[in-house]
Structure 1
Amino acid sequence: MKQFFKYVLATITGIVISTIILAVLFVVIIGGIIASAGSDKAPEVASNSILHIKLDRAIAERTPNNPFSGLGFLGFDSDKTPGLNDILASIKKAKSDDDIKGIFLDESYMLSGQATTEEIRNALIDFKRSGKFVIAYSEIYTQGFYYLASVADKVYVNPNGIFEFRGFSSEVTFLKGALDKLGIEAQIIKVGTYKSAVEPFFLTKMSDANRLQVTSYLGSMYDHFLSGISKYRHIGKDSLFNYANNGVIQEPADALKYKLVDGLKYKDEILSDLKERTDTKQKDNLKSIEIGEYAKTAPKRDDDDDKKSSSGDKIAVVYASGEINGGDGDDNTIGSENLSKAIRKARTDDKVKAVVLRVNSPGGSSLASDVIWREVMLTKKVKPVIVSMGDVAASGGYYIACAADSIIAEPNTITGSIGIFAVLPNMQKFFNDKLGVTFDGVKTGKYADLGDVSRPLSPEERALLQKSVNHGYDTFTKAVANGRHKTQEYINSIGQGRVWTGEQALKIGLVDRLGNISDAVNAAAKKAGISDYKLVNYPEQKSIFKQFGDGFSTHVKVHFVKAELGENYKYYEQIKGVTQMMRTPQARLPYNVVIK
């Protein structure tokens, strides 16, 4: 009995101590969030400073309100990662800021997409018109970072570093072999010869049609990549192609030999050079400010000093970023309910004279896409709607864009993929043969258990589902035909799930011009007939405390899953995407496009 009470007492003591620790941890987290919220005041920029840009994290469309950004001591990111909106605003401000003498691009891995990189690159080109310098340095040059850095006045690489210049590749992971081993059959219902999102489930390699489309759009992106480098490095595009194709760039010395860089230097030599450029004594510290900090001094899109309206007129920038699903969504996904509400709010606000819909989405639920499309259509009837496409605006992402008055894309935006598919697993063999589980039951109608994964589809059921998917495709192509003022037959000929780049889409009429989000804002103002306006952003981002209350467990879970899986987190996201595909008909990009 004495031993029993000892264990009980030890258990109670452990519970009390754990509770106290958790309470203290909770107070520390709350305190950190409060401190973080209070530290957002604009920092002072010292005269004769360098704007230090290091882009080694994924770049969102706009800077998120991250309630954990100030909790670096707990393992969370200690700095706020600026979104594309703040990066562009910062570079624009630095152009006319007398305290900023130049920009230092430093060791970036460029985890962003091609179009995002393009926007930042164009902002740097515009910055250089001020006469200020841009210097780029890295120990490891990925092709994405080199494309960005190629516009710099001087490009340097560590003498013993890594310089990648080998061309683009795109890879698809096929799951059929694994599904076969598990006894799972993916039952595919689709429309579109090129709609290859489902190929990994029933093939072991790319179909001829898919290989054709990937070869086409990858070649278009690569041609644009080489043209951009050629222009600013003054090297013939054919020469650049041959350098990559023949594998002649293996070492930093090779990059110097073929004039892709201007010198081989160590970091201390770069810092010394920057001191000379800013008339800083070598013994003194170089004055610099990180772009994440400098972003706090730059005007936001909804508080731009050049665009404060005396008339009260506004242009709404509505952000649609991530996969499209029903419900509210969040900063990383598009919820049809939340985005529709945002568009509706912009439409019913008499002070909002035009809407810019910023789309960066591979698509998703066809139903959710249609719900958003309806709101765009209604808005277009009462005020101008201009679409600005980011890295990707494909399938459902194109669906929600097609009703706009005008569509503007970057040359390397991924778009199109006009098609519909559905996936329904048949897990009968898995349950029966692998697990020894069987099912039986009764039903009141022939199709009462349609969609049951414990058995294969009957021919009649497959025909019903195919009819539903065909109807979805017909609705999709009609919407595109009406929005683009084309015949449905023509849209079907360039549709069929085929993926295009922005440059290709311009030629076939899926977009109206090439440009960035600023071009879209200017086009919206022109169509609305206004020159004096203020920019406002939708959907409204949740406050720090609202996010904390709503999603503490989610933030913590995502953080630690990412920390554990590292680069493999993308496969975790793909598996989640597969489960979503199996719920409703999908209008989404064939797969995640990764340029290596």
Structure 2
Amino acid sequence: MKEFFKYVFATVVGIIISSVVLFVLFFVVIVGFLASLGTEKVKTVKANSVLVLNLDQPITERTKDNSLSGLPFVGDGERTIGFADVIRALKKAKTDDNIDAVYINVSSPNAGMASMLEVRNAIIDFKESEKPVIAYSEVYTQGAYYLASVANKVYLNPQGSLEFKGFSSQITFIKGALEKLGIEAQIIRVGNYKSAVEPLINDKMSDYNRQQVTAYVNGLYQTYLSGIAESRKISVDSLSDIANNYKIRLADDAVKYKMVDALKYKDEVITELKAITSKGKKEDISTISINDYIRNLTTSNITSDKRIAIIYANGDIVDGEGSADQIGSERISRAIRKARLDDKVKAIVLRVNSGGGSALASEVIWREVELSKKVKPVISSFGDVAASGGYYIGCAADSIFVQPNTLTGSIGVFGVIPNFQNLLNNKLGITFDGVKTGEYADIMSTNRPMTAGERFIIQNGVNHVYDTFITRVANGRKKTKAQVDSIGGGHVWVGTDAVKIGLADRLAGFKEAIAAAAKKAKISDYKLVEYPEKTDPLKELIQNAKDNVSTYYAKKEFGDNYMLYQQMKKAVQMNGIQTKIDYDINIR
């Protein structure tokens, strides 16, 4: 019997050890497989190549590592590209003897207006090389045409379409849906123009919001028309007439009104590119995508140890670490602090693309910007939107640079305390009872409406945050609090107007912001370093596994209504004091 148990024990131990070894081997194989996915081969740029700008992919603040996106529950395999990398690539291609031309491939870009302007300006700069830029598409949405219109030649498929009809802004109001669910959004705010809460409490736009939305949509539209007018040599008035009367209905109309140079099929465009690159009729064109070309770019060969730090602050502003797509107060303030304490970093460029979020998180980040400004130059470069909390975190900089189509300002504050009493009591049959040691021991409770005393206390808190906000702006912009309050109140401004009223210093892009930082730091040779450091894709996959799976199934379940689901989810989760903007502009 003893021998039996000895053999049984040995067998069990052997199975356990074998299982552990197999698990370790399996884990090593999986990690190796994932690592191999992240290893992308650098492609050689052949002589007489065409650089292909695929601008339908999401144009983000920074190029993401999407090497794991083909795995289940991890994205949709779509590439992304950072606008700064596009600028860098086009600058290199301008002097690259192997690049003969640029081919713009765009139908429906996924990018904000200011980001598209950055890319557009980079293409204009490339054209100084006198290398041709050719754009072709079967379909041009309005955003696509904005990018393509800068090309030397713009071609459209003979049976294709070009959309040119003007801009619109539409807000989805969910007050009725919340009421049906038995949810009341209890709102406390400062600023008549602070419209982020209106979808929760109204069923249409307020007069204040209609006024400001009308102003900034028209401002964005004028920037759009002006850019096309300059590139295509068509007056703004003529373009307005074409859009207002919807004159581009067929492909032939696009030629008639000089929006495109000719109608061509893809094979005809390929023939033209072959002629440009000196290829024979039976030879293939040598092409390289913008994504592959970026990977070919070597790091700076400047030997100077002087550096300019680029701090990317992109997404909603949240407390704590946040994610790669959020501005976590801990993660971003730590990055700014690291740049501030590094003696090799001579200047900081804070790149902001955010509609705001947590007021407290904004204050935490503001503090680091304020401290950094005392020891080295800090320049804020605002992207598509830098409003509310996004403006808060950048207002302390020495200078603020905006694009004419940047949305900024929205200096206002609000608080949301959801009341689920009707949902819980009347719809789900859930009730609550308890004891408390003081009248306000359960303040901020979400299972009952606020009392008058609670509302008074919370309103004072919101007022205090607003007073702090306008004080930060007044000190940063060298204005009085009264002056800031007069242009605050939650009012959203386009970049052009922001410069006029003193909320920003210059109409300029990311490249100019870096040059200004170098000039203020009195340096000419420097390296660019980016913060915060990008998250390892495997680590991010493990950290976000739960969210990735839930998002995957939510998108699958709700389909086209996923955006509405997201909006309602945010509404019921929004709690506490917020500095946030809400906007939606359709240029498609």
When the two structures are superposed, what TM-score results if normalisation uses the length of structure 1? 0.91
One-letter amino acid of the structure 2 residue matched with residue 588 of structure 1: K
Q: Which of these residues, 431, 436, 443, is aligned with residue 438 of structure 1?
A: 431
Trace 1:512-591 onto structure 2 (pairs within 5 A).
512-555=505-548, 557-558=550-551, 561-562=554-555, 568-581=561-574, 583-591=575-583
**Alignment partner, residue 300 of structure 2:** 304
Select between 458-467 and 434-443 the one with higher mean Cα deviation.
Answer: 434-443
Select between 427-436 and 46-55 the one with higher mean Cα deviation.
Answer: 427-436
The answer to whether the 8 A contact 1:314-1:533 is kept is yes
- Distance in 2 (CA, whole Å) between partners of 1:436 and 1:73 is 39
How far the C-alpha of 1:67 sits from its partner, in A, is 4.6
The answer to whether the 8 A contact 1:86-1:298 is kept is no
**Alignment partner, residue 236 of structure 1:** 235
Shift in CA distance, 572/96, structure 1 to aligned 2, threshold 3 Å:
farther
- Aligned residue for 1:268, secondary structure, equals helix
How far the C-alpha of 1:78 sits from its partner, in A, is 5.1
Shift in CA distance, 567/276, structure 1 to aligned 2, threshold 3 Å:
farther
Shift in CA distance, 561/438, structure 1 to aligned 2, threshold 3 Å:
closer
**Alignment partner, residue 52 of structure 2:** 52
Shift in CA distance, 238/279, structure 1 to aligned 2, threshold 3 Å:
same
Q: Which of these residues, 378, 382, 389, is aligned with residue 375 of structure 2?
A: 382
Trace 1:207-222 onto structure 2 (pairs within 5 A).
207-222=206-221
Select between 26-35 and 242-251 the one with higher mean Cα deviation.
Answer: 26-35
- Distance in 1 (CA, whole Å) between partners of 2:325 and 2:537 is 16
Q: Which of these residues, 457, 461, 464, is aligned with residue 471 of structure 1?
A: 464
**Alignment partner, residue 87 of structure 1:** 86
**Alignment partner, residue 31 of structure 2:** 30
Structure 1 residue 353 corresponds to structure 2 residue 346 = yes
Shift in CA distance, 541/176, structure 1 to aligned 2, threshold 3 Å:
same
- Aligned residue for 1:440, secondary structure, equals coil
One-letter amino acid of the structure 2 residue matched with residue 46 of structure 1: K
Gaps of 5+ in 1: 1-18
Structure 1 residue 316 corresponds to structure 2 residue 315 = no
- Distance in 2 (CA, whole Å) between partners of 1:136 and 1:360 is 28
- Aligned residue for 2:462, secondary structure, equals helix
Report percent identity of matched pairs.
Answer: 53
- Distance in 1 (CA, whole Å) between partners of 2:44 and 2:343 is 38
The answer to whether the 8 A contact 1:107-1:139 is kept is no
One-letter amino acid of the structure 2 residue matched with residue 252 of structure 1: A
One-letter amino acid of the structure 2 residue matched with residue 190 of structure 1: R
Select between 25-34 and 280-289 the one with higher mean Cα deviation.
Answer: 25-34
Shift in CA distance, 530/563, structure 1 to aligned 2, threshold 3 Å:
farther
- Aligned residue for 2:486, secondary structure, equals helix
- Distance in 1 (CA, whole Å) between partners of 2:449 and 2:27 is 50
Trace 1:270-281 onto structure 2 (pairs within 5 A).
270-281=269-280
- CA offsets 1:70-112 (integer angstroms, 9 cap, x no match): x479986557422222222111111111111111111331110
Gaps of 5+ in 2: 1-19
**Alignment partner, residue 147 of structure 2:** 148
Q: How many residue pairs end up in the alignment?
A: 569
- Distance in 2 (CA, whole Å) between partners of 1:574 and 1:88 is 33
How far the C-alpha of 1:37 sits from its partner, in A, is 3.2
- Distance in 2 (CA, whole Å) between partners of 1:390 and 1:29 is 39
One-letter amino acid of the structure 2 residue matched with residue 109 of structure 1: S
How far the C-alpha of 1:47 sits from its partner, in A, is 0.7
Select between 52-61 and 219-228 the one with higher mean Cα deviation.
Answer: 52-61
The answer to whether the 8 A contact 1:365-1:587 is kept is yes
Q: Which of these residues, 414, 422, 434, is aligned with residue 421 of structure 1?
A: 414
How far the C-alpha of 1:588 sits from its partner, in A, is 0.7
Shift in CA distance, 213/565, structure 1 to aligned 2, threshold 3 Å:
same
- Aligned residue for 1:45, secondary structure, equals coil
Select between 538-547 and 136-145 the one with higher mean Cα deviation.
Answer: 538-547
Alpha-carbon RMSD across the aligned residues, in angstroms, is 2.3
- CA offsets 1:534-574 (integer angstroms, 9 cap, x no match): 11111111234433443344445545655665654433443
Shift in CA distance, 502/426, structure 1 to aligned 2, threshold 3 Å:
same
- Aligned residue for 2:59, secondary structure, equals coil
One-letter amino acid of the structure 1 residue matched with residue 46 of structure 2: A
Trace 1:107-506 onto structure 2 (pairs within 5 A).
107-299=106-298, 303-305=299-301, 308-310=302-304, 312-506=305-499
One-letter amino acid of the structure 1 residue matched with residue 521 of structure 2: A
Select between 250-259 and 118-127 the one with higher mean Cα deviation.
Answer: 250-259
The answer to whether the 8 A contact 2:317-2:357 is kept is yes
The answer to whether the 8 A contact 1:79-1:292 is kept is no
- Distance in 2 (CA, whole Å) between partners of 1:80 and 1:214 is 32
- Distance in 2 (CA, whole Å) between partners of 1:477 and 1:253 is 53
